[in-house]
Amino acid sequence: MKIVVCIKQVPDNNNVKFDPHTHNLVRTNVAGRMNPFDQNAIEAALDLREANGGDVILLSMGPDSTVETLRDGLAMGADEAYLLSSRAFAGSDTLATGYILAQAIQKIGAVDLILFGRQAVDADTGQVGPIVAEELTLPQATFVTKIASSDAQHVTVIRDLDQALQTVELTLPAVATVRGELNQPRYETPINIQNSFKKPLTTWNEKDLVLDQQRIGQAGSPTIVRKIYAPEPVNRQAVALPEDPDRAASELLKILQANGLI
């Protein structure tokens, strides 16, 4: 089974900056780490490889510093990695990003399963996985919390929709996004960290892929951020309620009514 895991490098802290003109997050020279949900996707791919054989390939789009995050994934046990890095990709929204990733997956070729984390913690959209599935016209399952079974032709997964569980059988090739409840990602051992530097890591730019230049970067991103601002600080004041439950409930209702909350 040939599995591609798409991962993303996200900011390592909350001290992020935005471009005042494009309103996009500035990722250059920003310390990053692997998106936590993507670690679950890598762990799922490694488990499937152990059960069925095959290869686990990492794919990411971002600045050159993303190499460090890809090395972390290789240290977990992935076999090889690809980085999509170019100024031409800068400013890509989820639609453009999904398109570029899909074209890269086509170039990798003969992929059986494509895994994503459920969402990236910096934007929280959860859109890229489904967009890639649409671009490649592949069946998909989102919010996967368990991989029930797998073989060379199918994978059966359980989706957690919060109010219900759904069992879905996907005919391969297919796309799936996974939730954190799926597994506990393995740690990087010193020997695996050392070996990660011996594994292939290839960088591609826009010239290495078959791309419509109008569908990448800022030009290929229909999402428009009109305004970015920091919310005004809220002054909060604690109010002590009576110990008696009936009086406390009565006082609480009065406060809520006075503030127009009920």
> So what's the pLDDT on residue 136?
98
Tens digit of each residue's pLDDT (9 = 90 or more) over 171-192: 999 999 999 999 999 999 999 9
Task: List all residues 6 or more positions away from 243 whose beta carbon is below 8 Å from its beta carbon.
Answer: none
Beta-carbon count within 10 A of 165 CB: 12
User: Residue written as tokens 């170019």?
Assistant: 86
Distance CA 53, CA 18 (A): 43
* DSSP class per residue in 190-205: HHHHHHHTTS-EEEE-
Sign, CA dihedral 31-34-36-37, equals positive
Region 124-151 average pLDDT? 96
232 pLDDT band, cuts 50/70/90, is confident
Tens digit of each residue's pLDDT (9 = 90 or more) over 90-136: 999 999 999 999 999 999 999 999 999 999 998 889 999 999 999 99
Beta-carbon count within 10 A of 203 CB: 15
- Residue 231 or residue 111, greater confidence: 111
Confidence check: pLDDT of 51 > 80: yes
> So what's the pLDDT on residue 237?
82
> So what's the pLDDT on residue 19?
67
Confidence check: pLDDT of 57 > 80: yes
- Residue 117 or residue 15, greater confidence: 117
Helix axes 94-108, 128-135, angle to 10 degrees: 50
Which pair of tokens denotes residue 35? Answer: 């998106």
Rg (Cα) of the chain, in Å, rounded? 22
Which pair of tokens denotes residue 67? Answer: 């190499």
3-state class (DSSP) for residue 168: strand
C-alpha distances (whole Å) from 166 to each of 132, 143, 155, 156, 160 are 22, 10, 14, 10, 7
> With 0-12 CB in 10 A as exposed, 13-18 as middle and 19+ as buried, what is 153?
exposed
